[in-house]
């Protein structure tokens, strides 16, 4: 019996090899078929999808978008010429639908706002920030958080004179620091960023940082790194499994760690506020939120701590780098266009004089300033692709089908640098916004730097106030001169928004 059993269960090596060979062939066969299906499945672009390049199997057009690093909008100029105002690009399994030109942008983001105002599910918005706050959220949660934030920010000065006084406090310090340089060449980047950041931090959590505050520079470093990474790897956000690849080559884990570090700072601020909270004397945005949180009888996701942390983080991030970068673009252009600088100073002299600082009321009498800042916003083009929107349901648009889950891009660059909208768009020319009498000619409405529709920048009024007071106070008191007069620096900056101006130094000479 035993012998029989032994005989029965002793493996026959030839049979086993045959079996293995057959399994391998079978397995390889299955793999080949699955791979072929995957390739077909990942390349397919059903007829009614917006047209676009076919891309590579599985990864789609990821290499195309990464080819120019942080400048996919430059590639989109060619794709628009080839495929029209609404085209699509595949990134992994998901579809990136790019809307170009003023007509299509208005049709989608204004007329069809109900369909085009959500955010996409990305690694950062869904996995890291769990669709909280203002920027990453959608639907009812976004509506309630945005409405609360706007009305509270108004309470703390948005659109009021009291805010002007806060902004002027920072400007005075900034001008003093500039004056202290005594005509030396100086890179104003850090100080502009600190001053602008102090304004939003003051409104949101009642804090003002000094220039040598190590904590502040750590926050700015995290913020800048996040901006840099999210621009260079934003396409990878659509393929969340990439974070499991060894070595974090798409920096997704780095992005998550940065966001968590920033959130934990906001968490500390909330704890400090809760410990010193006085319901009768709300000091800032955080206090008003906490007051509302205490008032809510049952737990409400809009008024929980994590939503507050992400909202405050959104305001800090969106309110610092953007305005500071626009100021730096404008200074660069004014240094290299002495004629524009002189004309602006003449207008300031005429309207404000030299005995007082400009006030926001002066703006309506200063069309040349409006033309200069509009051109700086167009030319600076700091958010060429705005912030991605997303289709939370299937959408029919201009006879095309945009499937649920697609990322939708408002291509602002397609207006700002379209030669049929702005002649010679590569030239910095404020006169394009003025008529023969020196008044605004209406073309300023074509500049969409703050985007359009329901998601339009929540901080636009604060940003416009900051830009006006900073730039006019600066030009009123100082002449700006470049380091190398005949050669404007080019290229992308070493830090911060990749669409910011190249690094530069300025020589400021006090006007007596």
Q: Which of residues 400-429 bind ligand HEM (CB under 6 A)?
A: 410
- For position 197 contacting ligand HEM by CB under 6 A, the verdict is no
Binding mask 326-365 for ligand HEM (x = CB under 6 A): x---------------------------------------
> Do 37 and 64 form a contact (C-beta atoms < 8 A)?
no
- For position 313 contacting ligand HEM by CB under 6 A, the verdict is no
Q: How many CB atoms lie within 10 A of CB 43?
A: 14
Which of residues 62, 134, 175, 201 is near ligand HEM by CB under 6 A? 134
- For position 99 contacting ligand HEM by CB under 6 A, the verdict is no
3-state helix, strand, coil in the chain (%, to 5): 60, 10, 35
Which of residues 308, 457, 469, 471 is near ligand HEM by CB under 6 A? 457
* Backbone φ, ψ for residue 392 (5° rounding): -90, 0
* CB of 64 or CB of 373, closer to ligand HEM: 373
CB of 329 to ligand HEM, least distance (A): 10
> Do 42 and 93 form a contact (C-beta atoms < 8 A)?
yes
> In 92-244, where do the E strands start and end?
94-100, 185-186
Binding mask 198-217 for ligand HEM (x = CB under 6 A): --x-----------------
Angle at which helices 214-232 and 189-205 pack, to 10 degrees? 100
* CB of 107 or CB of 248, closer to ligand HEM: 107
Residue 486: name the closest of 286, 355, 329, 338 by CA: 338
Q: Which of residues 366-395 bind ligand HEM (CB under 6 A)?
A: 382-383, 386-387
User: By beta-carbon distance, which residue lies closest to ligand HEM?
Assistant: 459
- For position 146 contacting ligand HEM by CB under 6 A, the verdict is yes
User: Cα 466 vs. chain centroid, distance in angstroms?
Assistant: 18
Radius of gyration of the chain (CA): 27
CB of 195 to ligand HEM, least distance (A): 13
In whole angstroms, what is the distance from residue 373 CA to residue 380 CA?
Answer: 10
- For position 462 contacting ligand HEM by CB under 6 A, the verdict is yes
Q: How far is CA 275 from CA 287, 316, 368, 407, in A?
A: 11, 22, 49, 42
* CB of 368 or CB of 450, closer to ligand HEM: 450
The footprint of ligand HEM (CB under 6 A) covers 134-135, 146, 200, 314-315, 318-319, 322-323, 326, 382-383, 386-387, 410, 449-451, 455, 457-459, 462-463
């Amino acid at each position: 019996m035993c012998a029989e059993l032994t005989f029965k269960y002793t493996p026959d090596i030839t049979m086993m090899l045959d079996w293995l060979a057959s399994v391998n062939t079978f397995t390889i066969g299955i793999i080949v078929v699955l791979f072929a299906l995957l390739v077909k499945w990942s390349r397919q672009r059903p007829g009614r999808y917006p047209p676009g390049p076919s891309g590579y199997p599985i990864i789609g057009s990821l290499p195309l978008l990464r080819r120019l690093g942080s400048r996919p909008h430059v590639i989109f100029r060619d794709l628009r010429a080839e495929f029209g105002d609404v085209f699509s690009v595949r990134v992994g399994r998901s579809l990136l639908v790019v809307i170009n030109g003023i007509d299509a942008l208005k049709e989608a983001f204004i007329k069809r706002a109900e369909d085009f105002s959500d955010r996409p599910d990305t690694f950062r918005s869904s996995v890291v920030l769990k669709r909280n706050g203002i920027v990453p959220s959608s639907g009812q949660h976004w509506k309630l958080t945005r409405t609360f934030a706007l009305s509270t920010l108004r309470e703390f000065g948005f659109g009021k004179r009291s805010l002007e006084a806060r902004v002027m406090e920072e400007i005075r310090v900034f001008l003093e620091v500039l004056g202290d340089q005594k005509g030396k060449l100086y890179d104003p980047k850090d100080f502009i960023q600190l001053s602008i950041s102090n304004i939003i931090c003051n409104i949101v959590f009642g804090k003002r940082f000094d220039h040598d505050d190590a904590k502040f520079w750590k926050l700015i470093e995290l913020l800048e790194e996040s901006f840099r990474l999210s621009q260079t790897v934003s396409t990878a956000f659509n393929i969340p499994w990439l974070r499991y690849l060894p070595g974090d080559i798409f920096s997704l884990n780095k992005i998550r760690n940065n966001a968590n570090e920033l959130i934990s700072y906001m968490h500390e601020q909330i704890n400090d506020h809760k410990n010193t909270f006085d319901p009768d004397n709300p000091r800032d945005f955080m206090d008003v939120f906490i007051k509302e949180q205490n008032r809510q009888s049952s737990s409400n996701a809009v008024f929980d701590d994590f939503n507050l942390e992400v909202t405050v983080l959104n305001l800090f991030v969106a309110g610092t780098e953007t305005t500071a970068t626009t100021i730096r673009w404008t200074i660069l252009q004014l240094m290299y266009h002495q004629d524009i600088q002189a004309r602006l100073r003449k207008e300031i002299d005429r309207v404000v004089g030299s005995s007082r600082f400009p006030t926001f009321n002066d703006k309506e009498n200063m069309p040349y300033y409006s033309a200069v800042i509009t051109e700086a916003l167009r030319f600076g083009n700091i958010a060429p692709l705005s912030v991605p929107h997303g289709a939370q349901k299937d959408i029919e648009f201009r006879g095309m089908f945009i499937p649920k889950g697609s990322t939708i891009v408002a291509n602002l660059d397609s207006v700002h640098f379209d030669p049929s909208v702005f002649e010679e768009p590569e030239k910095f020319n404020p006169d394009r916004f003025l008529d023969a009498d020196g008044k605004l000619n209406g073309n300023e409405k074509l500049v969409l730097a703050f985007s359009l529709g329901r998601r339009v920048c929540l901080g636009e009024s604060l940003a416009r106030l900051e830009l006006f007071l900073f730039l006019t106070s600066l030009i009123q008191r100082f002449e700006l001169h470049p380091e190398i007069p005949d050669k404007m620096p080019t290229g992308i900056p070493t830090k911060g928004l990749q669409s910011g101006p190249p690094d530069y130094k300025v020589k400021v000479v006090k006007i007596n």
